[in-house]
Amino acid sequence: MATRRPDPVRWLSSTALCLGIACSNHVPSALSLPPDDAAAQAVHVVDRASALAASLRGDPFARRPRFPDPSVLDRLEHVDALRDVATTLAGLERARGDLSAGAATLAARWPGTEAEALSWGYRLGLAERRLGAVTGAPDADTMQAVTRILTPLPSVQTEVRHTASALDGLAPRREDLPDAVRAAGERAVLRHWLAGPDIPLAPVAAALEAPAHSRWRSARIGRLLAARAHPDPTVPPHSPEGFDRLREATGLALVRAAADRASEQGAWADQRRAAQETTQAEAPVAALLMQAFERFTPHAVHPDAVGGALIALEALRLENACDVPPCAGLYDRVQGIRDARAWSEATADLVATWQVIALKEALDALEVGQGTVRHRAAVAEMVDALLGTGGTPPPAHILAESGPSPGLWAALAASVGEDGAATWQDARLALGSHLAERAAIARSVAPPAWHEPLDRIRRRALP
């Protein structure tokens, strides 16, 4: 049945997805699922939750949102973020502006609100359209464009034309990159629906019930979102077992990260064997994180439990033990751990300690991996850790290079505020100073049992 084209002032048209980027009308079914216009028309908009449901049109990933008429939003309370998203994206569409950059500003302008997920979903739609414009495996230019859309990494002109991109590590083969990008982007959208405790999640959980989304509905992030959307008020207010498992996993990972010398590595091996026996798992840190998540999820009515569950989820990605690959994602693992504090200050010690673990292990990986086949993976780990510990985004091209260069060391050092680096020694000093600062912060909030390994990391951070 023919559908009348909406007024572009009243609704964001799907053509917005093609502005400012190379785009075709064809999007492979493996890359995009069309939102349900009938679902939007069936929603009677009376409050924030129903306005969000109408905007999603049955798509929990918000790839092509169409927002209610401004006059409808003006009558509602607590929709300032939603109204700003609608107005901003409509303005960008009319002005043919930079849609991905404009959408990204919305997340920063409205932290902890639905604007974060809507921004991510809109950019995911842009990325899928860009990927859908090519036939076969995406080339370097396409992947670099997708990198600009989905990551905060700036694009800087260089004399060398790179044949790789910062997202190539998401899949072992280039032809698998579209599916990997889609999975990473969808996970990012779902995580940002959990950006804060006040977001109405019932419309998102309802949209996830569609058969097409069974993978995410059964995944940990989907189950946590559903538990938060439909909380059980009879559960007790705390999940001590969840925090017990999470702290045990964190303590083990911290000992591992701090084990530089042979005697320390031997002590870590002993602790690991004991934990393997206790958990009956080859990877005890990951096993404990999984146990923590399962104990937190039924308590999702309480913000402390959601904060703990989010830390466990992102730490599992760091441990390469996520349930929906690729675990690496969009350089957002450590950021995800950091953002868990939006839910609960009770997680401050866990957040700070995992930031140190990620940064220390990334520094170790870069020290031994530079110039080897592990070079690009090591740089990616470092960038992920920097973005989650206060570093500014380095240029994307450093993640496309196959070996070390003065430009790489300069960019990594500049990310933590040190200019003029030209050698590994210069960059190592800057990164080590940053690690020492983070270790001192973590020690100030960590339990006494974690002080010794944190002190060791801080002392040895500077060469």
**Alpha-carbon span 121 to 109, nearest angstrom:** 16
State the residue for tokens 């206060």: 390
Average pLDDT over residues 221-239: 88
Same domain, 376 and 299: yes
Domain-embedded: residue 233: no
Domain-embedded: residue 203: no
For residue 282, pLDDT beyond 60: yes
For residue 371, pLDDT beyond 90: yes
Contacts of 115 (CB under 8 A, 6+ apart): 81, 82, 84, 85, 106, 107, 109
Same domain, 181 and 263: no
Note the helical H segments in 370-405: 375-387
pLDDT score, position 233: 79
Same domain, 186 and 244: no
Name the least confident of 41-55, 70-84, 165-179.
Answer: 41-55
pLDDT score, position 133: 85
**Alpha-carbon span 59 to 189, nearest angstrom:** 11
For residue 310, pLDDT beyond 80: yes
Same domain, 173 and 245: no
**Alpha-carbon span 126 to 189, nearest angstrom:** 13
Q: What is the DSSP track for 102-140? A: HHHHHHHHSTTSHHHHHHHHHHHHHHHHHHHTSSSS--H
* Local confidence band at 23 (pLDDT 50, 70, 90 cut-offs): very low
Domain-embedded: residue 386: yes
* Local confidence band at 37 (pLDDT 50, 70, 90 cut-offs): low
For residue 278, pLDDT beyond 60: yes
Please identify, among 155, 190, 225, the residue that sits at the C-terminal boundary of a domain.
190
**Hey, is 223 helix, strand or coil?**
helix
**Alpha-carbon span 90 to 99, nearest angstrom:** 10
Domain-embedded: residue 3: no
Please identify, among 190, 207, 230, the residue that sits at the C-terminal boundary of a domain.
190
Same domain, 351 and 437: yes
Percentage of the chain surpassing pLDDT 90? 83
pLDDT score, position 213: 97
For residue 238, pLDDT beyond 60: yes
For residue 9, pLDDT beyond 80: no
Average pLDDT over residues 429-441: 98
Calculate the average pLDDT of the chain: 90
Torsion of the alpha carbons at 432, 434, 435 and 436, rounded to the nearest 10: 90
Tokens of 142: 């396409």
Domain-embedded: residue 376: yes
Q: What is the DSSP track for 69-86? A: PHHHHTTSSS-HHHHHHH
pLDDT score, position 184: 98
Percentage of the chain surpassing pLDDT 70? 90
Same domain, 289 and 179: no
* Local confidence band at 161 (pLDDT 50, 70, 90 cut-offs): confident
For residue 408, pLDDT beyond 90: yes
For residue 186, pLDDT beyond 80: yes
The count of domains in the chain is 2
For residue 198, pLDDT beyond 90: yes
pLDDT score, position 32: 44
Average pLDDT over residues 47-76: 96
Determine the residue type at 283. Answer: A
For residue 24, pLDDT beyond 60: no
* Local confidence band at 80 (pLDDT 50, 70, 90 cut-offs): very high
Same domain, 381 and 455: yes
For residue 267, pLDDT beyond 90: yes
State the residue for tokens 């441990």: 319
For residue 12, pLDDT beyond 70: no
Same domain, 295 and 373: yes
Same domain, 314 and 183: no
* Local confidence band at 231 (pLDDT 50, 70, 90 cut-offs): confident
pLDDT score, position 39: 53
Write out the residue range of the structural domain in which residue 443 sits. Answer: 240-460
Average pLDDT over residues 445-462: 97
Contacts of 18 (CB under 8 A, 6+ apart): 129
pLDDT score, position 38: 55
Same domain, 414 and 272: yes
State the residue for tokens 């998540």: 293
* Local confidence band at 159 (pLDDT 50, 70, 90 cut-offs): low
Q: How far apart are the first and last CA of the chain?
A: 69
The residue ranking higher by pLDDT, 22 or 261, is 261
Same domain, 278 and 180: no
Please identify, among 125, 158, 190, the residue that sits at the C-terminal boundary of a domain.
190
Domain-embedded: residue 28: yes
Average pLDDT over residues 430-436: 98
Domain-embedded: residue 223: no
Domain-embedded: residue 2: no
Q: What is the pLDDT of residues 88-144, one digit of tens each?
A: 999 998 988 788 999 999 999 999 999 999 999 999 999 999 999 888 899 999 999
CB 224 within 8 A of CB 313: yes
Same domain, 172 and 29: yes
Average pLDDT over residues 52-81: 96
Contacts of 123 (CB under 8 A, 6+ apart): 100, 103, 104, 149, 150, 185
For residue 21, pLDDT beyond 60: no
For residue 34, pLDDT beyond 70: no
Average pLDDT over residues 371-395: 97
